Amino acid sequence: MTQGVSMRILILQNHERCDADLMGDALRRRDVQIEIAEVFATDRLPDVEAFDAVMVFGSPASCLNLDDDPGLVRARDLVRRAVALEKPVLGVCFGGQLLAHVLGAAVQRAPVGEFGRYEIRLTAEGVRSPLFEGFPSAFGSVEYHQDTFDLPEGATLLASTDLCPHQAFVLGRSVGLQFHPESSLRQVSTWTAAYPEGPASVGKTCDEVLAEYRAAAAEHAGLCERLVDNFLRFATSSPARRDY
């Protein structure tokens, strides 16, 4: 565990049901200073220059309709500014799609959505990447999405699933994830209650999605802890490093 990391991280929470969850808890345990900007509830976001890194979390919204939501436009502009300043950025699910969009890649509907727990497989580059240090080459994680992103030009693909090949990428100081390492049972329960049509669209019941999570909750939490440590090392490393 990385202890006493002297950092300030800005968390963009784009929707009331999509908080930082397990990742937020892990950051607090490491004495990282975090500020949560509730994009859905404010018309003014903090100055990204005041932070060492940015984390961008999920939303039921789509990048395909980004301009319809002034709050998400502000979030996009903040992420764009963070990338321009070479701030480390971690985007999760919608946040990963938004980051890919900022980096010039297309976002579109996936041929098939993913809802529940799926096997994530690291690519050869992912196995070597310090971002996934301590991970097995294949592991389960939460998915709850219908959109997917193309790989930004110059990015390295780090992980895939059978249904959605772009699950994790790194480009410079930016890391995009499609899956949800941060999600607790509380969060998944909230999503299945609010959006039961997601699991139904892939032939699952909400009870099955929750059972999948409960069966692997301890493993899921442990991998989230590792990913937080790995991202903190990534965020504090020299921008010139190329081994991520």
Question: Is 242 among the domain residues?
Answer: no
- Per the residue annotation, which of 114, 143, 182, 212 is the catalytic one? 182
The rounded distance, in Å, linking the Cα atoms of 218 and 172 is 32
Question: Is 26 among the domain residues?
Answer: yes
The pLDDT of residue 240 is: 65
Give every residue of the chain whose pLDDT is below 70, as ranges. Answer: 1-5, 240, 242
Q: Is 93 a catalytic residue?
A: yes
The rounded distance, in Å, linking the Cα atoms of 137 and 159 is 9
Question: Is 118 among the domain residues?
Answer: yes
Whether 3 and 31 have beta carbons less than 8 Å apart is answered as yes
The residue segments making up the domain with residue 122 are 8-236
Question: Is 243 among the domain residues?
Answer: no
Q: Is 145 a catalytic residue?
A: no
- Within a 10 A sphere around the Cβ of 17, how many other Cβ atoms? 16
- Per the residue annotation, which of 101, 145, 166, 180 is the catalytic one? 180
Q: Is 182 a catalytic residue?
A: yes
The pLDDT of residue 134 is: 98
Please state the domain count of the chain: 1
- Per the residue annotation, which of 15, 18, 63, 93 is the catalytic one? 93
The pLDDT of residue 238 is: 76
The pLDDT of residue 1 is: 45
The rounded distance, in Å, linking the Cα atoms of 162 and 239 is 32
Torsion sign (Cα): 153, 164, 219, 23:
positive
Closest listed residue to residue 183, CA positions, set 19, 10, 15, 33: 19
